[in-house]
Amino acid sequence: MKKLITVVAGEPNSINSEIIGKTWIKFKNKEYIFVIGNYLLIKKQINKIGLKINIVRINSITEIKDKKNLYILDIPLKFNSIFRNKSAHTKNYVLNSLNTAHYLAHTNQINGFINTAIDKKIFNNKFLGVTEYLASKNKVANDEVMMIYNKKFSVVPLTTHLEIKNITSKIKPDLIKKKIITLNKAYYKIFNKKPKIVILGLNPHNSENRINSIENKIIKPMIKKLKTLNIDVKGPFPADTIFDKQKKIGYNVVVGMYHDQVLAPFKALFGFDAINITLGLKYLRISPDHGTAQDIIGLNKANPHSLITAIKFLKKFND
């Protein structure tokens, strides 16, 4: 079987086609790359920014014959206008694309896939994002882990796209245990080594170590229990200093209590040089670490670096 690199086109009203086109040019004649998405949409969006790419519509991955064409596994999409038209955004189109990728990976026709940016509104608050949606389809809901990866170190938010007011009620011992066990097991499977994990507290300065704080009542006792499971985990550490201590501590993963607690400093450090990996699924799912960037659609300004990094990572996994 050819070692296929699978990319889900994602949100139609986005920079996705542009970064896919720019990325494919870098890997032309080197990798078997195909895209799950709408052929006409992707072709017109790529042509608009002047990229010269031979794009081929296919109905089955068995039709992929070479590395010199960009193959599109065609997903139907109804739209009135291709460019900058929100009516082109179709929930069924995006979900059909994701479901097709899930089916191919679940049936071992591909090792995993990369999905480009998706507008989370398609989930109508049923799921917080693609991570949770795919976890549900894999029947591992609440065990999945969102890891933002850079070769220097990675970060994991214990809760993902929750409003701040809802975070405290979600920080429970069982949630911490499930997430850290999944992280430890999946990290070893991917990188062939046990991760050194540090966990942050929720509050500034770990609530000054007050007896009734969430750090002392929930986080610290669970860390002790996780250590008995032969997991290399330390904490809780205050969030405001941990990223300066990386060289001293030598950790692989920082686990925070909420999304921006770890994502904001991580992106300040690494920018586009990161990818989003969902751990705990039956296959590898990756996405570039950026959004739909609707303000620069069609302007030929989108940076493909994160998608390039994602493809290089998936290639190693394929090998």
Structural domain boundaries in the chain: 1-140+281-319, 145-273
Q: 4 near 64, Cβ under 8 Å?
A: yes
Angstrom distance (rounded) from CA 192 to CA 195 = 9
**Closest to 63 measured CA to CA, from 124, 9, 2:** 2
Sign of CA dihedral 211, 212, 213, 215: positive
- The pLDDT score that the predictor gives to residue 81 is 46
- The pLDDT score that the predictor gives to residue 289 is 78
**Closest to 146 measured CA to CA, from 133, 163, 165, 159:** 159
Tens-digit pLDDT profile for the chain (319 aa)?
568 999 999 888 889 999 999 999 999 989 999 999 999 999 999 999 999 999 999 999 999 999 999 999 999 987 654 444 444 457 889 999 999 999 999 999 999 999 998 888 888 888 888 999 999 999 998 889 999 999 999 999 999 888 999 999 999 999 999 999 999 999 999 999 999 999 999 999 888 878 889 999 999 999 999 999 999 999 999 999 898 876 667 899 999 999 999 999 999 999 878 899 999 999 999 998 788 878 888 888 889 999 999 999 988 876 6
CATH assignment of 145-273, given 3.40.50.920, 3.40.718.10, 3.30.930.10, 1.10.10.10? 3.40.718.10
SS3 (DSSP) at 287:
strand
- The pLDDT score that the predictor gives to residue 234 is 95
Angstrom distance (rounded) from CA 127 to CA 64 = 33
Residue 118: other Cβ atoms inside 10 A: 24
SS3 (DSSP) at 195:
coil
Angstrom distance (rounded) from CA 135 to CA 137 = 5
- The pLDDT score that the predictor gives to residue 189 is 92
SS3 (DSSP) at 29:
coil
Establish whether domains 1-140+281-319 and 145-273 are of one fold: yes
First to last CA, the chain: 12
Angstrom distance (rounded) from CA 181 to CA 281 = 13
- The pLDDT score that the predictor gives to residue 311 is 93
pTM, full prediction: 0.88
* Tokens linked to 299: 């302007």
- The pLDDT score that the predictor gives to residue 84 is 46
- The pLDDT score that the predictor gives to residue 220 is 96
**What does residue 184 show for φ and ψ, rounded to 5 degrees?**
-60, -45
What architecture does CATH give domain 1-140+281-319? 3-Layer(aba) Sandwich (3.40)
